[in-house]
A and B are shown apart, each in its own frame.
Chain A
Amino acid sequence: MPTNSGNHKQNAVNVREMIEEKRSSRSISNITEKLIPTILFIIASISILTTIGIIYTLLSEAIEFFKIVPIWEFFTGTVLKPLSQNPEFGVLPLINGTIISSLIAMLVAGPIGIMSAVYLSEYASDKVRRILKPLLEVLAGIPTIVYGFFAFTFVTPIIRSIFPEVGATNILSPGIVMGIMIIPMIASLSEDAMTSVPNAMREGSLAMGATKLETTFKVVIPAAFSGIIASFVLGISRAIGETMIVTIASGSSKNFTFDITQSMQTMTAYIVEVSGGEAAAGTTIYYSLYAVALTLFVFTLIMNLLARYVSRKFREEY
């Protein structure tokens, strides 16, 4: 039958075409198979380029700065007057402000964070925990600029109504608010550390007649100690790098003082003030930005490495 054989022929051609097509598409897909890993590797190396970019820009511009201001003078100078006729660039006022604000923050966040962690991990029922934890995490999701507004327009006036000698800008109020911002971080990291302590240890202690409180302080916390310390160190690192709260609420006076009722400037706030101002590229004050940023970068890097070291080195495996 002619029609049938014609059909057959047509099919044969189709199959050959399909094979041809398949072969050519396979060679294309072979090329993609080979290309994709390379493309993805290039994409993944962007994160390394970012690190190199950060270190390179900070170092190269900071070196320019240290050619003008000796490195020794920078790190031991207690006077910072970048805009005066005879500018002086001592970083100690900034380091002092950074440490004091972080210290205040940790005095708030440390105890409250750890007590929250104990409550959530040891005392709260499953139901309560499932409500409280996400709510606490909302606190961590609020932009820092909102906390800055809160510190400046709410916390500072309250402090001033109790202690009238406190200035309109001071380091105490942003320190406290920063602490509140860090609470969820410490609470959730410490809670993770505590919940990973095996129940057998708790039960052993409870069976010996210890109360829940004694079990918590003598068994759970010592067992989770490395995780708790790591959460503290990360909290400090976060406080050191925090910018907007201190910029808004602590003002820009470069006092070298330990009086927490006064305005102080942190390293981060200095960077905001100078870069947002009229520092033209190539001036000493412009280069000082990078020297300060480099100091800040090293501070936080040390803290982050320390946190990882603590949680690795002293972790007790069960």
Chain B
Amino acid sequence: MNQVNTKKMEKRMHARIQKNNLLKIVFLLATLFGLAVLAILLVRVITQGAAWLDWDFITGRLSTSADRAGIMGAILGTVWLMIVVIPVTLIIGVGSAIYLELYAKKGRIQSFIQTNISNLAGVPSIVYGLLGLTIFSRAMGLGNAVLAGGLTLSLLVLPILIVSSQEAIRAVPKYLAEASYGMGATKWQTIKNVILPASIPSILTGAILSLSRAIGETAPLTVLGIPAFLLPFPEGVFDTFTALPMQIYYWTLDSSLVKEYAYLAAATIIVLLVLLFILNSVAIFIRNKFQQRY
């Protein structure tokens, strides 16, 4: 009878364990690769842009000379976009979620709308741009006004908000609604007074995240023909505008002609990233502070 050759076994085992340990390091390095690129990207943007980022740059008007150029117009444009996107997406997004979760009968129509929403989430943003160009800009005659851009971006981020609101509503425990019905409340009263207040923190978190997706989006705006160089500030939803991502786009493109434009683009990127960072921090704060676990 053969006995186990411990020496041979140990040798083979050793090789296998070595391989395991080696690959573990490789996997870790792969994970860190993404983070390293993120760090390089941020450092690069900050070193290029920080010197150009001062109060005059933030509050100034656009100019062809790099020294005097400012981005107040683009900031205002982005703010106006948010003013359009927030109410539109909140009303449509939360309304759709309430309908799908609480009113729709489980069946064909509900699953059809649901499939439709997840397909919409996969449509490239540039296609939404063409939709906005055809319907909002041309058919409704909004041109390249804030409203056309805002509605286009709203349609783009709606699927995200609908799905996250649905999850928020689903997370409210059944017994809260049952208790409300038990007290004689009607369905809408229950939704208005019990379900929505309980789910509003998660809904807001989702809304802020979809908003931050909307204001970083560039492709649909390029299709709408948002102008590259615009001096007047937008003062309403029917005014022509430019937005932070568009400004970055044009300055990056022209940086092969005027070298300083690359620094202006970097400075604008810092402003955009700070804005996104604030939005995301607020979202995380709301989630941690107000979200109740049932």
Q: Contacts of A29 on B, CB cut-off 8 Å?
A: 186, 188-189
Complex contact B225–A149 (CB within 8 A) = no
Which residues from 36 to 77 on chain B have a C-beta closer than 8 Å to any C-beta of chain A? 37-38, 40-41, 44-45, 48
Question: How far does the Cβ of B45 sit from chain A's closest Cβ, in whole Å?
Answer: 7
The interface stretch among B92-100, B196-204, B286-294 is B92-100
Complex contact B23–A145 (CB within 8 A) = no
Complex contact A276–B222 (CB within 8 A) = yes
Complex contact B222–A272 (CB within 8 A) = yes
Complex contact A211–B20 (CB within 8 A) = yes
Given A33-B187, A271-B130, A300-B124, check contact A40 B255 (CB 8 Å): no
Q: Contacts of B23 on A, CB cut-off 8 Å?
A: 213
Given A135-B38, A300-B124, A304-B119, check contact A142 B130 (CB 8 Å): no
Complex contact A146–B269 (CB within 8 A) = yes
Given A119-B31, A275-B223, A296-B126, check contact A146 B248 (CB 8 Å): yes
Partner of A304, one of B30, B122, B131, B187: B122
Query: In the complex, A158→B120 CA distance in Å?
Result: 37
Interface of B is mostly: helix
- A: number of interface residues (CB 8 Å): 83
Complex contact B16–A214 (CB within 8 A) = yes
User: A13 at interface (Cβ–Cβ under 8 A)?
Assistant: no
Q: Contacts of B41 on A, CB cut-off 8 Å?
A: 142, 146-147, 150, 154
Q: Closest A-chain residue to B40, C-beta based?
A: A154
The interface stretch among B172-180, B212-220, B231-239 is B212-220
Complex contact B31–A290 (CB within 8 A) = no
User: A82 at interface (Cβ–Cβ under 8 A)?
Assistant: no
Query: In the complex, A144→B27 CA distance in Å?
Result: 26
User: A168 at interface (Cβ–Cβ under 8 A)?
Assistant: yes
Interface of A is mostly: helix
Which residues from 123 to 154 on chain A have a C-beta closer than 8 Å to any C-beta of chain B? 123-124, 132, 135-136, 138-139, 141-150, 152-154
Complex contact B219–A148 (CB within 8 A) = no
Q: Contacts of B28 on A, CB cut-off 8 Å?
A: 119, 123
User: A297 at interface (Cβ–Cβ under 8 A)?
Assistant: yes
Complex contact B130–A293 (CB within 8 A) = yes
User: A204 at interface (Cβ–Cβ under 8 A)?
Assistant: no
Question: How far does the Cβ of A93 sit from chain B's closest Cβ, in whole Å?
Answer: 18
Question: How far does the Cβ of A55 sit from chain B's closest Cβ, in whole Å?
Answer: 10
User: B4 at interface (Cβ–Cβ under 8 A)?
Assistant: no
Question: How far does the Cβ of A123 sit from chain B's closest Cβ, in whole Å?
Answer: 5
Partner of B127, one of A54, A112, A119, A138: A54
User: A230 at interface (Cβ–Cβ under 8 A)?
Assistant: no
Question: How far does the Cβ of A293 sit from chain B's closest Cβ, in whole Å?
Answer: 5
Query: In the complex, A243→B124 CA distance in Å?
Result: 8
Question: How far does the Cβ of B258 sit from chain A's closest Cβ, in whole Å?
Answer: 13
Q: Contacts of B117 on A, CB cut-off 8 Å?
A: 47
Q: Contacts of A153 on B, CB cut-off 8 Å?
A: 48, 252, 255, 262, 265
Partner of A243, one of B104, B122, B219: B219
User: B129 at interface (Cβ–Cβ under 8 A)?
Assistant: yes
Complex contact B127–A58 (CB within 8 A) = yes
Q: Contacts of B91 on A, CB cut-off 8 Å?
A: 43
Query: In the complex, A57→B162 CA distance in Å?
Result: 24
* Binary CB contact string for chain A from 55 to 94 against chain B (1 if under 8 A, 0 otherwise): 0011001000000000000000000000000000000000
Q: Closest B-chain residue to A183, C-beta based?
A: B34
By Cβ-Cβ distance, the 6 closest A-B pairs, closest first, are A241-B124, A143-B216, A115-B30, A43-B95, A119-B27, A40-B99
Selected A-B contacts with CB under 8 Å, 22 pairs: A43-B95, A47-B159, A48-B112, A48-B113, A50-B120, A51-B120, A57-B130, A58-B130, A141-B280, A145-B218, A145-B248, A149-B248, A211-B17, A242-B124, A243-B125, A247-B222, A268-B126, A271-B130, A276-B223, A281-B138, A293-B126, A296-B124
